[in-house]
A = this chain, B = another copy of it.
């Protein structure tokens, strides 16, 4: 019993139904019935998924009459992001090489290399890499 926090978070996220639930909750707090609505699945099944998400600290549940409103708790996701940090350089690195290569190619087929100067305000490269 009781795997480490990150393992619990990741295995909670590994299920597409649970990720869809989180996506819905990103739009705002809602009830179990409304959360269940898009899925071709029984209520108890949804209830179990919510329990898993709650166990991972990814949602919190309140109480309002017979409803149990759920809301997103994103804190554990930061744990995933932090873990990813150690690996970020691996995919950014390869894109950097690709960028360099593409610039070389473009420099050869173009009259002036100034055409390819990037704006300093640009936040994301064409390969979807974030600036940090």
Chain A positions near chain B (C-beta within 8 angstroms): 3-4, 6-7, 10-11, 13-16, 19, 22-23, 26, 72, 74-75, 77-78, 80-84, 86-88, 90-91, 94, 123, 128, 130-132
Q: A11-B14, A130-B132, A131-B132 are in contact. List 8 more A-B contacts (CB 8 A).
A: A4-B16, A7-B16, A22-B87, A26-B86, A74-B91, A74-B94, A77-B90, A82-B128
Question: Please, which residue of chain B has its CB at the minimum distance from the CB of A95?
Answer: B78
Chain B residues contacting A128 (CB-CB under 8 Å) are 78, 82
How many copies of this chain sit in the oligomeric assembly?
2
Question: Please, which residue of chain B has its CB at the minimum distance from the CB of A9?
Answer: B14
Given A7-B14, A7-B16, A13-B10, A26-B87 contact (CB < 8 Å): yes
